[in-house]
Every structure is written in C-alpha cells, then in structure tokens.
A and B are shown apart, each in its own frame.
Chain A
Amino acid sequence: MEKEDDKSDRRKFLKLGALAGGVVLLGSAIGKAVSLDSTKETGEKVKVLTADGKLMEVDGCNMKHPAAVKLTNQEMRKGIEGKKFVMVIDLAKCANARKCVEGCQKMHHKQAPTEWIKVKRMQDAESLTPYWMPQPCFHCDNPPCTKVCPVDATFKREDGLVMIDNERCIGCRFCMAACPYNSRSFNWSEPIIPQGMEAAEYSIEKSFPAKIGTVEKCDFCPDMAREGKLPDCVTACPNGTIFYGDQNEDTVTNGDQTFRLKELLTNRSGYRYLEELGTEPRVYYLPPVNRDFPFENDTIVHNTEDYKII
C-alpha cells in the first residue's frame, strides 16, 4: 500500500511538471529546485523540463532553495527518495581531454595518483580502432563489493548509489578485490585535507574528509544532486561526453543537451560494460560510432606521480 501511495504521489508530482534534483534547469535556475508550494508570483520565469520531455516555463516563486537540512547518517544510508541515478557516457564524444578526472579530483579534494574516474584507452580487438573510455564507479544494482563487506561500511542505497561510510570501514580491502572494474581506491596514507577544511564534519554523501586506512571511490555526487547540481566530471568535460540523470524521471543531461534515457539508449545502442558479469551497472555506454573526433593516441603518460613517501 505504502509503495503505491509513493508512486501515485510521484506521478502527481511529475504531472505538475515540477521535480527536484535531476531536473534540467537552465541558466540561473541551476541550483534551485521546484516546489509545489505556490506563493506570490514574482514574474521571473524559469524553464524546466516536464516528465513527458517538454520544456515549460514556471514562475520563479515556485523555485526554492532546498532548506539546508543536516542529514543524519541514517538518511544518507537510505538515499534520496524517488531517485534512481544513472549515467550515460557517449564514447563518440570522448577525446581524452581528462577534464573529468581533474574536475573530480578538484571537487573531492583528491590528489594524484588517486582517480575516482579514469580514462582508459580501449581496443576490443587488434583489427578495431581504439577509443577512449571514461570509467567512474558503475554503482551496480548487483554490486559485488557491498556483498563482501563484513561491516556494512559499503552499501547500496534506494536511489541506486553504492556508498561508503569511511567512519565504519575497517580497511580489509575485500571490496577492492571484489570489484571487477577496480573502481575503488584506498587511503594508503594520511589524506591531505585542504587548508581551512580540517574541521569539516564527515559526510557519507560528500565522501569527505577522507580517512586514512579506508576505501573510497566515485560517489555519483549525491550532495550535488540534492542541490540540483551536476557532478563536476559532467560539467568539466569540454565535449559533453558524460550524461547524468534519473532513471525514474527518464532523463539524462550533460548540461547542454538533455535526452530521454530510454530513447537515447535505444537510438544509440547503449550497452553496459561487461554485461555478462551480471553486476547490472548503472552506467551505460554509447558505442563510439560517428565519432566527433578521430582517435589520436595520447603522447603524454598521465598520472605518473606517486604518493609522497614519508
């Protein structure tokens, strides 16, 4: 019963053409969410995308900044209600600019050599042309990593995200061994925290501040999603390679272009990497056909800088 109520509530919500989070908000509206409460009209119009894929204008008074509620650990373990986060990576657009890697490192205060999103040179066979493949955590629906965690420090949320509680992780690294994609990194030494942020309180959704001796990885930036913002890997890409969105809402966006998820995957023959492993990734790839760029081998060796050994 409860579930149905949830659903019908959501439909009503969708019909009203108002959605929080993954909604595409244009221009100045980014960073705001739409609320149902109607107050005095301000005259300021904001464009939003409706559930059936139409752009419409609503009055600014319907937008409000989400209240800065401090989330409890339990809420962060549960996830954002009604969401199913998803990513689509268009391999035809990737030119190995590596801006996603840098953007992610900057946003999450990570230093080389740790990369939560990697860009790999892939070549499926010798007779085939290579392509570049950005690889974040796949946030699998059948995650091999959360299964093996002995203390529930890494877990699957209702919004599809696989998260880590760095205050609980015991550092056994079984999840790293279990992840067939090597998406996970380890804090081998005391993490470097930027000046002035030392006192920051730990947040699962921010994956910050990092803790020595614990595992970490790409978290799909749910803290940004709560604010209606896109992850930095999406916005940093100069070619719009990475699309981020919500499966329930059936939309994904790279900030410039917005697509219906189902249509995009159908029209562009979307696939998931190593589907046969049965991990059910939440990251889809669009094959590198009709490429925006010819493949060019990278002449620079990236990420050679090692940890500073104490």
Chain B
Amino acid sequence: MRTSQPEPTAQSRSIISPNDLHRASVRLTLGTSRVLILASLLLASLGPFVWLFKASISTTQDTIRHPYGWFPSGTRWDNLSTAWHQVDVSRYILNSAVMTIGEIAVSLVVTVTLAYALAILRPAWGPIVYGAVLATLFIPVAVAMVPLFMTISDLPLLHTSLVSSYWSVWLPAGANAFNVLIMKRFMDDFPREILEAASVDGAGPLRTLWHVVLPLAKPMVVVEAVLVMMAAWKDYLWPSLALQEPDMQPISVALPRVAENAELSVQMAAMFIALVIPLLVFLVFHRQLLRGASLSGALKG
C-alpha cells in the first residue's frame, strides 16, 4: 500500500563537496574538528549518565569526597535495591507507568478522531475548530496553570473535583494542539482514491477509520505515542499540582522529596532507576523520536 511520507528527500550533496575533500587542509580540519566535537559531545552528553551510574553504585562518602574516583570503597549494588524497596521507587515507577499509559490512550483517541474528522471528513465547521486548536499552540502553557487547576478542582457542569485522580493528568494531556496538527497534516496527504474506493465499497466513516485510515496512520500513531510517553515521563509541574497524594505521584514528582529524605547514594540510585526507562525507550524508538522532534521544526519553519 502506498503511503505518502513527508520525509525530506535524500540529500544529494551538502556544504562540503567531494572536490573539497581532495584538499588535504580541508580533510585535516574536518578530521580534527570531528574528533574534538565527538570528545566534547561524549563528555557533555554521555558523561553525566556515566557519572550518575557510578554514583548510584558507590557509597555516599565516595561520591562526595572523590567525585571522579574509581570506587575507592568498592561497588555498592545494593543501593539500587534499597532505593527500589525502601524509598518506594517501585511504587512511583508504577504510578508513572499508569499516568503515561492513560495519557497515551487519551491523546491517541482525541488526536486520531479529531484529525480524521478534520482531514478526511472535512465538515464545513472544520476550519473553525482547527483554527481554535492551533490558537492554543501560541498560548503559553504555564500561564494557563492556575485556571486549569481551578477547572479540575471544580469541573464545570459536573461540579466534581478531579484533584488526586489520574483523570486530572490524563484528560488535559489530550488537549495537545501539536499532536492534532501533525496527525492532521499526515492524514491530509492520504490518497483520496483509497478513501473513495472504501466509500464505494459501502464502508461507512467508522469502518473507513478503523480499516483504512488507522492502518495508514500507524507510523504517525507510533511517533505520537512515543512523544506523549516521553513528555509524560518528564512532566513535573502539572502532576505535582494535580496529584497531591504522595502515594499517587509519579517518579518525577516524588524524586525531590526522596532527595530530601534519603542519603545521597540511595538518592542517586533512585535517579538512575528513573532515568533507565526513558533511556531504553529512546534507544529503541530513537528514529521515531528524532523524526517527531524535527517535525516540530517543520511546523515552525
């Protein structure tokens, strides 16, 4: 099946040409700058990861006295299990997982249905709704924090409070204009002939959505799921306001409290555990994530 990917075409050439590469001075400069930048990237990007891992299996004294020492008092793998069991990191990780899965589900339902309505069904009122959604892109998120908190404390019409319920993080996560935008743009490019054909075969809009559009949209669904997952795992300010019960808090919100109460070695172990999951997700899905990240640029440009 043909899907039209908005992927940039393969580059034929870039700034430096094969001709330049014949010159020794160019090759030398390129080579040394490559080594230098690789070294500084390794130091700046990978260094803190390695240091955190080392600190998470060192004693507190070693980390404070000899930040760059090679385990003067030996390794302490039990820091990790202490963090996991005694300061409840296992519970917070589970909470983060619950929060993340719910956010992915709500986001995907909202995004796919709204994008399908706007891009494929194209009702007359579509552009108005689309404009109102896009307008929220330019509204500073943080400025909306206080009224949003008031809204979930006393929901309009229903007059119930969502505070200290996971719905208070799941539902607002669905109102993400960027996700709607990239999904709608993706569906805009679907070949109309296939949709027409489905229609001629007697498939209604819902069957078309399920059997034709969703399979075509799968690559973008994966991109969005990964983006939402990473964002949910990173979120701090909103869940710290909406989930005030310590037992419900995700790892990001709980970590500063753990940091205040546990000794440094256990704190480092807890931080390392909190980092492993997004790191693994990134290493598995880095293609999708980097594509999502550069898509955000495509819309800005």
Note whether A and B form a binding pair. Answer: no
